[in-house]
Structure 1
Amino acid sequence: MSAQDKLIKAQHLIDMNDIIREGNPTLRAVAKEVEFPLSDDDIILGEKMMQFLKHSQDPVMGEKLGLRAGVGLAAPQIDVSKRIIAVLVPNPEDSEGNPPKEAYSMEEVLYNPKIVSHSVQDAALADGEGCLSVDRVVEGYVVRHARVTVEY
């Protein structure tokens, strides 16, 4: 049974046991493009990846399932070498602690994403960032382009 076959079973919830760790060759391999029209299996996989991110950002579900919070998950991180990513960027509370009108600034599954342009300016998060596939603390900043345009 392939990793994808296991992950898309109706009763399966993606959890930290499904996340492969640094050193696994799938993380460094060039992922395959998905074919259009999308297969049911690829659609289900994208939905389950998004479900993982929502659970990981929910304090109750995250603790119950033992998840680390994430805003993005790529299929290779769950040992599926395909160009599929799920992105879930929450909106912050306002200065008075009130919840935002819209929960997320981005909630999308991207198939065959491709960066088509980027800013000259670079940026890094002040608090640093992590990776679900890296269990250790890595000091420093991750410098990226401040803006990118992605086709998918």
Structure 2
Amino acid sequence: MVLEIIKAGHPVLKQVAEPVDFVNKKMRQLLDDMAETMRVSDGVGLAAPQVNVSKRIIVVDDGTGLQEFINPVIVKGDGEQIGLEGCLSVPGYFGDVKRYQDIEVHYIDRHNKKKKLKAEGFLARIIQHEIDHLDGILFIEKVEALIARVGGTVEKVDRWGKRRLAYAVKKFTDGFYVLVNFEADPAEIKEIDRVLKINDDVLKHLIVKHGK
């Protein structure tokens, strides 16, 4: 069954999820439903809080197959990588986030067996992103720069890029985006919101995070 993915602003996304005491039939069904939801949503990871279930469960698929983690704990992290991330709970927004390059994660599987996994690169990034959800953290609270999809013409985007230091224009294969500089004055961020119609909850994260 495909589940509803809740969006930024929902209180469950800001809660620390509860550990799973025992993986029963209901939890296994949740794992199946989360995997289906992730796939139909074109995601690479999904955490239980994103489907309004405050439990420490994540599913990921980096292209090599589905992996399930219950009560995951990162016990070791090494190196550093910075890469572009998005989130099914914050649709339309992307940003560069700093993560460990290599991690070791301990968890239990759907059969209540203790497991451990060493992951690197993209898989490590996905796991870290999803575990953040279990601690009530959204990627927009960690981004070094937020990228928001912009409607309208290229000329409009270019005009804004030239007029304000708060912006830099970045082109992707499927459209144009505006890179928001977090040093922007709150008044400018509000103007960005007015013009680009940035989601109010995302806007609030930007202002609160930087103490404006």
**Shorter-chain TM-score tier:** 0.5 to 0.7
Alignment partners' CA distance in 2, 1:117 and 1:53: 27
Structure with bigger strand share is 2
Q: Give the structure-2-normalised TM-score.
A: 0.48
Judging by fraction of residues, say which structure has more helix.
2
1:26-77 per-residue CA deviation (whole Å, 9 max, x = no partner) reads: 11111000112x11111110111112233x3xxxxxxxxxx3x211000000
User: Where does residue 28 of structure 2 map in the other structure?
Assistant: 43
1:29-68 aligned at under 5 Å gives the runs: 29-36=15-22, 38-54=23-39, 56=40, 67=41
CA RMSD in angstroms, aligned pairs only: 1.4
Q: Tell me if 1:115 matches 2:104.
A: no
- Residue 78 of structure 1: aligned partner: 51
**Partner of 1:21 in structure 2?**
7
Secondary structure, in 3 states, of the residue corresponding to 1:135? coil
Q: Distance in 1 between matches of 2:38 and 2:8?
A: 19
Shift of residue 137, structure 1, vs aligned partner: 2.2
For 2:80, the aligned partner's letter is D
2:101 corresponds to which residue?
146
Which letter does structure 2 place at the counterpart of 1:74? Answer: A
Q: Gaps (5+ residues) in structure 2?
A: 108-212
Query: Which structure: larger Rg?
Result: 2
> How many Å apart are 1:24 and its aligned residue?
1.1
Question: Structure 1 vs Structure 2: percent identity of aligned residues?
Answer: 38
Q: For residues 2 and 5 of structure 2, what CA distance do their matches in structure 1 show? A: 12
Q: Read off the aligned partner of 2:102 and give its amino acid letter.
A: R
Partner of 1:94: none
Q: How many residues align?
A: 107
1:87 alignment counterpart:
60
TM-score between the two structures when normalised by the length of structure 1: 0.66
2:89 to 127, 130, 133: 133
